Structure 1
Amino acid sequence: MFCQYTAPPPIGISGIASPGHDRPYRFSFYSNALSATIHARSLCELPAEGQSFEDLFSGLPSPTSAANTWWLDIQSPTDEEMKVLSKVFSIHPLTTEDIQMEEAREKIELFRNYYLVCFRSFDQDPYSPTYLEPLNMYIIVFREGILSFHFQPTPHPQNVRRRIKQLKDYIDVTSDWISYALIDDITDAFGPLIQSIEYEVDSIDELVLILKEAEQSDMLRRIGTCRKKVMGLLRLMGNKADVVKGLAKRCNENWRVAPTSDIGLYLSDIQDHLITMTQNLNHYEKILSRSHSNYLAQISIEMTDANNQINDVLSKLTALGTILVPMNLITGLWGMNVHVPGQDTTGGYAWFSAIVAGLAAFALIGGYTTYRFMVRR
């Protein structure tokens, strides 16, 4: 039944269908009855030669586990694949629709034979153009196994499988534990980002008021970039704490498909981490908002000082002009064809000395008057 569909041919960079062996692995099957994880490009490639899907999913109980637990991780499922999986695992049409429509709202829903967890992660590749963009993870948890869906490459399934390999001798790997481990790994992915934001916020808060003018050119850009990152993480955090809290509450209810009570302890720990990270991000946003205001206030003070200096220079130039313009007017009149006092006098420079002394006295009186006027202001 799994192979009763035809997957669309993969398209290469040149637009030509790529050969089958060039396609990426989209299916990963883990079972504690198997010694290694099976990776495949299509559902038909999952079972070994001569093995049926029923044999693959049922397996044999592991010596360290009470029962066999399987996990099928699927990247970018097609419509045909979703139809087959929905029919085989009796997945409700609402769940199928949420996955196909890439429902972005984080939630938990209980159905007759499974529960669905929608949890958002983000693109963790810093060199990707979609870095920090939301990545939706859909987890369908049955009693005997788990189906996980995502539409972009993500390291979370591989991290969880590595964790299972390290802890399988100490824990009972159940479907509830795998779903918890996925949620926990998604939550832990926010830790390094929030830590780097904390360092950047502390640096901005310390430098915003002590930087020199030549060093302030990129401060506004740093503040804006950091605030954008904080708001993006707050959007990603969303109502994660409420979803985990709701899932933990289901552990105490008498639902056949609800997680067991011991998983509730793990989920409560995740909830505490989520609440703490959200509070920290809100605190960083307040610090950045204050630093932004302080930076703008610092710029305003510097501009006011510069304007005051310009006004002071202009006032001095105005005072100088007040003294020199009348003198220039007088000398200008004397430069015309008018009779100048003393021009007919021969011998000595009495008239010239008197005129120069008069101009000097006028300059001194005008300068003193201007000085007293400026001091009085």
Structure 2
Amino acid sequence: MYSDEIPRFNYFSSQSEKDIVTSDWGEIFCGQFIDQIQESNKKTEGNVWWLDICDATEQDVDVVAEALSIHPLTAEDIVTREPREKVEVFRGYYLITFQTLVTFTDDGDDRRSIASKSIASSMPSSAGCYILVFRNGAVTFSPSGCSHINRVRDRIRRLPDPSVLTSDWICYALMDDVVDSFEPYLQAVEGESEAIEDQVFIARLDDVQSLIPRIDNLRKKITHLIRVLSGKVDLLNGFVKRCQAKDKQPVFPGGELLMYLGDVQDHLVTTMSNLMHFDGIVGRSQSNCLAQLSANNLRLSLNINEVLSKVTVLATIFVPLHMITGLFGMNVTVPGQDIPGLAWFFGIVGCFISFIIVCCYAAWRYKLL
């Protein structure tokens, strides 16, 4: 449940040139705004309106569906938070489903600082933004945590030519802002990937081991960005083709707006190609780290094998001596035990030492030691 104090509804009209931000439907219906919306839809030109609903509930969708005659399939997609990005056309309007990134931070944080924090910790989650475009107006259902609505509002206020403003232009501006919002994350990924690439070849063994989880975390974030952006390529291509078709639906835009959509496509293709390039850099860095670890493990294994081989040679030399001393440790007659003095003892020890020296020399000669 949402508190009545949270302003979730934002209504804009080019006729009044002001925003109405409210927390309930009462202020939207007050002043016959719905009547104005329905009247403007019957005209080819005139008042351009925009209604945004943040974190819409099922009751909110029902109110909009009843007031603007929205198709039940559209209402179902919005209520169930349909994640697939698509363009669908209905009688009197078309629907665009767009995935965007949502991040909950302090109000003083800008997009670049938010992206840097996200790359350093965890990537923001994706959420659906639903755009219903009518003849002279638009209804958007936006998730909380994204600031696309506020930035497009500011962009509308800065328009040098108010006649440019149409419902299709609002749709373009939202898609353009969503695509542009990935740029700070792209810059953060670029900085992190270049830093990792520089550290791979100068890092010590302990540093390389710490780089592996860092690289793996960055690759997951790049994959997340690519997954969110990949659906937009097909969506924009299909949208532009529908706008350029000879038998296109009357609700689809044309003319100069196609140039704006082409600009969004260029930004999207550039962002995708850069992400794929950075993914290749991180992949090479990961391969280099794993290769260094494999080389270090191989070198360590060879050193251990070399030490074990020397230990084996020494054990081979001392085992026969240990066996001989063990046999004479039983109840048997020891050579020279009835002769007084230590001559026999030092003689036996001398034989053992001579045997050890001869065996060690032979092992050294044959490079076994």
Q: Percent sequence identity over matched residues?
A: 40
Q: Does 1:218 align with 2:198?
A: no
Helix, strand or coil for the counterpart of 1:239? Answer: helix
In 2, Cα distance between equivalents of 1:360 and 1:131: 70
Give the direction of change, closer, same or farther, for the CA distance of 1:95–1:47 in structure 2 (3 Å limit): closer
After superposing the two structures, state which structure 1 stretch, 142-151 or 366-375, moved more.
Answer: 366-375
In 1, Cα distance between equivalents of 2:123 and 2:222: 14
In 2, Cα distance between equivalents of 1:54 and 1:325: 100
Q: Which residue of 1 aligns with 2:273?
A: 279
Give the direction of change, closer, same or farther, for the CA distance of 1:87–1:328 in structure 2 (3 Å limit): closer
Counterpart code for 2:23: R
Q: Does 1:292 align with 2:274?
A: no
Alignment root-mean-square deviation, CA: 2.9
Give the direction of change, closer, same or farther, for the CA distance of 1:174–1:369 in structure 2 (3 Å limit): same
Q: Which residue of 1 aligns with 2:73?
A: 94
Counterpart code for 1:85: V
Which deviations, in whole Å up to 9, do the C-alpha atoms of 1:279-324 show, x marking residues without a partner? 2223333333333333222222211211211122122222222233
Q: Which residue of 2 aligns with 1:184?
A: 176
**Correspondence for 2:250 among 247, 256, 266:** 256
Task: Indicate if the aligned counterparts of 2:55 and 2:144 stay in contact, CA closer than 8 A.
Answer: yes
After superposing the two structures, state which structure 1 stretch, 333-342 or 277-286, moved more.
Answer: 333-342
Task: Indicate if the aligned counterparts of 1:180 and 1:266 stay in contact, CA closer than 8 A.
Answer: yes
Give the direction of change, closer, same or farther, for the CA distance of 1:91–1:251 in structure 2 (3 Å limit): same
Q: Which residue of 1 aligns with 2:20?
A: 38
Counterpart code for 1:99: I
Helix, strand or coil for the counterpart of 1:320? Answer: helix
Q: Which residue of 1 aligns with 2:196?
A: 204
Counterpart code for 1:368: Y
In 1, Cα distance between equivalents of 2:230 and 2:367: 61
Helix, strand or coil for the counterpart of 1:214? Answer: helix
**Correspondence for 1:167 among 159, 171, 182:** 159
Q: CA deviation at 1:150?
A: 2.7
Q: Which residue of 2 aligns with 1:63?
A: none
Between the two proteins, the alignment pairs up a number of residues equal to: 350
Task: Indicate if the aligned counterparts of 1:251 and 1:261 stay in contact, CA closer than 8 A.
Answer: no
TM score, norm. by length of structure 1: 0.82
Which deviations, in whole Å up to 9, do the C-alpha atoms of 1:110-151 show, x marking residues without a partner? 223122111111213368999522211111111211111134
Helix, strand or coil for the counterpart of 1:257? Answer: coil
Q: Which residue of 1 aligns with 2:108?
A: none
Q: CA deviation at 1:353?
A: 4.6
Helix, strand or coil for the counterpart of 1:210? Answer: coil
Q: CA deviation at 1:71?
A: 0.3
In 1, Cα distance between equivalents of 2:97 and 2:278: 27
Task: Indicate if the aligned counterparts of 2:205 and 2:293 stay in contact, CA closer than 8 A.
Answer: no
Give the direction of change, closer, same or farther, for the CA distance of 1:112–1:334 in structure 2 (3 Å limit): closer
**Correspondence for 2:47 among 68, 73, 76:** 68
Higher relative contact order (CA 8 A, sep 6+): 2
In 2, Cα distance between equivalents of 1:52 and 1:141: 20
Task: Indicate if the aligned counterparts of 1:123 and 1:130 stay in contact, CA closer than 8 A.
Answer: no
Q: Does 1:244 align with 2:200?
A: no
Q: Does 1:320 align with 2:314?
A: yes
